[in-house]
Amino acid sequence: MSEIARLEALEILDSRGNPTLAVTATLSNGVQATAKVPSGASTGKREAVELRDGDKRRYDGKGVLRAKSHVETEILNWVRGLDANNQAALDKTMCELDGTPNKARLGANAILGVSLAVARASAADRGLPLYASLGDLSANLIPAPWFNVLNGGRHADNSVDFQEFMISPVGAPRYSDGLRAAAETFHALKSVLHKKGLNTAVGDEGGFAPQLKSNEEPIELILEAIHKAGYKPGKDVVLVLDPATSELFEDGEYVFAKSGKNRMSPAQMIEFWSGLLDQYPEIWALEDGVAEDDRTGWQRLTRMLGDRIQLVGDDNFVTNPSIFKQGIKDGIANAILIKLNQIGTVTETLECIQIARANGYGAVISHRSGETDDTSIADLAVAAGMGQIKTGSTSRGERIAKYNRFLEIEQELGSKARYAGSSVYERWQAVKA
Ligand code: PGA
Ligand code: ZN
């Protein structure tokens, strides 16, 4: 048995220049591995707590030295000697040690750092790639990525209220072909924007962030780019939106402050989405189409559009097994976004994916807007056979790291590798039928 022997944490920077944690786990036989923790900007209210120092003299209060110290003292003292290959026992032990429902005492950043570092060390210990160690040896499904090619909302300093405009190359035969289609479309979009005299600087997730006249204009620009790159929208490449509407919800209304446009009631918001789907059948998934606090809105949205597209819950489910189960009972959404740091352990993350599967919900793994070069989510997607991932655009190193990791996995699996594009496409087409 390989036991956990040492834990060390380092306060590093994420892709936005804010502090986050890197945790290194060392096993009794000397095997070592490191994991790095991401950080969101448009967070759900019920996410596990990201512990920050609050000391305004350092990083404007965003330092993570307390979380670092929790890893190296309290957590280490409690988990030293545990079997590194028993992830579930480790994660349960840390949850119990924390003692709060939302990991507020030790910090979900501290706990996730340890959980992931040990998962990586266990894989190294067993001589397996992480995707095979977390899943089983037959794991071979590479997910269809959602590339966030145009950024707005809290991820960009522009006039677009909706946060993410994504493309997914579902029609590609292999993952590497899909990645190429996305990169070519991204470059085509750059030239479309350039020709129109629009800015081609990128936002937090590597998508362009131009000043535009409306929240729908990005869709037209992206469709033009897909054509220009030589692909067929709605067939080779489909569209996905994450408007992150929890950020727009004020006093029971949706307020479009950045574009300076009007407001909408929850009923109008849902009508808007319904109309947009009529206008753009290329859209095949909508994440957080209404706000986390708009429960009746979520139920209504699901009743109205749940048989047309994927309705993905992010801020409302926060990758929390019990919150997600309640949401399923309430008839909310038909898919879930999976973010490790929303819940804080590998085990609870896998549990959410299981719940999705058991209830016929889709599951899409996701990065955060604040990222590092850690690629664990790519392996986890393959391990759990998830079929879909969103991890930014085809620019910015912290996004590309994940996409490149899939290229390595595809090469390593050789003829066993399968790309999920056509199977997820058919699954959601069947919902419409
Ligand atoms: P976040 O955004 O990482 O800033 O929360 C991602 C999302 O809303 O899906
Ligand atoms: Zn989201």
Residue with tokens 């923790």: 37
User: Quick check: CB of 369 below 6 Å from ligand 1?
Assistant: yes
Do the Cβ atoms of 176 and 217 come closer than 8 Å? no
Ligand 1 atom nearest the C-alpha of 38 is: 3
pLDDT at position 193: 98
Q: Is the dihedral of CA 184, 186, 187, 193 positive or negative?
A: positive
Helices and strands per DSSP (H, E), number in the chain: 15, 16
User: Quick check: CB of 244 below 6 Å from ligand 1?
Assistant: yes
pLDDT at position 262: 87
Mutate to test the pocket of ligand 1, among 366, 367, 371 (most ligand atoms within 8 A of CB): 366
Query: Could you tell me the distance, in angstroms and rounded to a whole number, from the CA of residue 110 to the centre of ligand 1?
Result: 20
How are beta strands 362-366 and 335-338 bridged, if at all?
parallel
Residue 433: strand, helix, or coil: coil
Query: Could you tell me the distance, in angstroms and rounded to a whole number, from the CA of residue 44 to the centre of ligand 1?
Result: 9
CA-based nearest residue to 76, from 125, 124, 4, 28: 4
Alpha-carbon radius of gyration of the chain:
21
194 CB contacts (<8 Å, ≥6 apart)? 200
339 flagged as catalytic: yes
Burial of 16 (0-12, 13-18, 19+ CB in 10 A): middle
Which ligand is located closest to the Cα atom of residue 339? 1
Query: Could you tell me the distance, in angstroms and rounded to a whole number, from the CA of residue 288 to the centre of ligand 2?
Result: 6
List, as ranges, residues with CB under 5 A of the ion ligand 2.
242, 287-288, 314
User: Quick check: CB of 339 below 6 Å from ligand 1?
Assistant: no
Mutate to test the pocket of ligand 1, among 18, 37, 42 (most ligand atoms within 8 A of CB): 42
Query: Could you tell me the distance, in angstroms and rounded to a whole number, from the CA of residue 43 to the centre of ligand 1?
Result: 6
The C-alpha torsion from 210 through 215 and 216 to 220, rounded to 10°, is 0
* Active-site residue (options: 47, 50, 164, 205): 205
Which ligand is located closest to the Cα atom of residue 371? 1
CA 338-86-119 angle, 5° bins: 50
Query: Could you tell me the distance, in angstroms and rounded to a whole number, from the CA of residue 200 to the centre of ligand 1?
Result: 22
Mutate to test the pocket of ligand 1, among 204, 314, 337, 365 (most ligand atoms within 8 A of CB): 314
Residue 397: how many other CB atoms lie within 10 Å: 12
pLDDT at position 429: 82
Amino acid, res. 168: S
CA-based nearest residue to 179, from 394, 380, 396: 394
Question: CB under 8 Å, gap of 24 or more: what pairs does 30-33 form?
Answer: 31/2, 31/121, 31/124, 31/125, 32/121, 32/124, 33/117, 33/118, 33/120, 33/121, 33/123, 33/124
Mutate to test the pocket of ligand 1, among 317, 369, 372, 391 (most ligand atoms within 8 A of CB): 369
User: Quick check: CB of 43 below 6 Å from ligand 1?
Assistant: yes
The C-alpha torsion from 102 through 105 and 106 to 109, rounded to 10°, is 40
CA distance linking residue 203 with residue 190, whole number of Å: 13
pLDDT at position 39: 98
Query: Could you tell me the distance, in angstroms and rounded to a whole number, from the CA of residue 174 to the centre of ligand 1?
Result: 27
408 flagged as catalytic: no
Which ligand is located closest to the Cα atom of residue 316? 2
Count of alpha carbons within 13 Å of 431, Cβ hemisphere only?
A: 20
Which ligand is located closest to the Cα atom of residue 314? 2
CA distance linking residue 385 with residue 263, whole number of Å: 40
Q: 161: which DSSP letter?
A: -
User: Quick check: CB of 148 below 6 Å from ligand 1?
Assistant: no
User: Quick check: CB of 152 below 6 Å from ligand 1?
Assistant: no
Residue 256: strand, helix, or coil: coil
Q: Could you write out the DSSP letters of every residue in 171-193?
A: T-SSHHHHHHHHHHHHHHHHHHH
CA distance linking residue 405 with residue 143, whole number of Å: 12
Which ligand is located closest to the Cα atom of residue 369? 1
CA distance linking residue 292 with residue 281, whole number of Å: 25
According to DSSP, the residues that pair with 253 across neighbouring strands are 250
Cα–Cα distance list, 200 to 179, 189, 196, 261, 422 (Å): 20, 9, 11, 23, 31
Query: Could you tell me the distance, in angstroms and rounded to a whole number, from the CA of residue 42 to the centre of ligand 1?
Result: 5
CA-based nearest residue to 403, from 194, 181, 99: 181
* Active-site residue (options: 103, 339, 390, 402): 339
Residue 9: strand, helix, or coil: strand
Residue with tokens 């209404």: 290
- Averaged over successive runs of 10 residues, the pLDDT of the chain (433 residues) comes to 97 98 98 98 97 98 98 98 98 98 98 99 98 94 98 94 98 98 98 98 97 95 98 98 98 95 94 98 97 98 97 98 98 98 98 98 98 98 97 98 98 98 90 75
CA distance linking residue 1 with residue 217, whole number of Å: 57
Please, what are the domains in the chain? 4-127 (3.30.390.10), 141-432 (3.20.20.120)
Query: Could you tell me the distance, in angstroms and rounded to a whole number, from the CA of residue 319 to the centre of ligand 2?
Result: 12
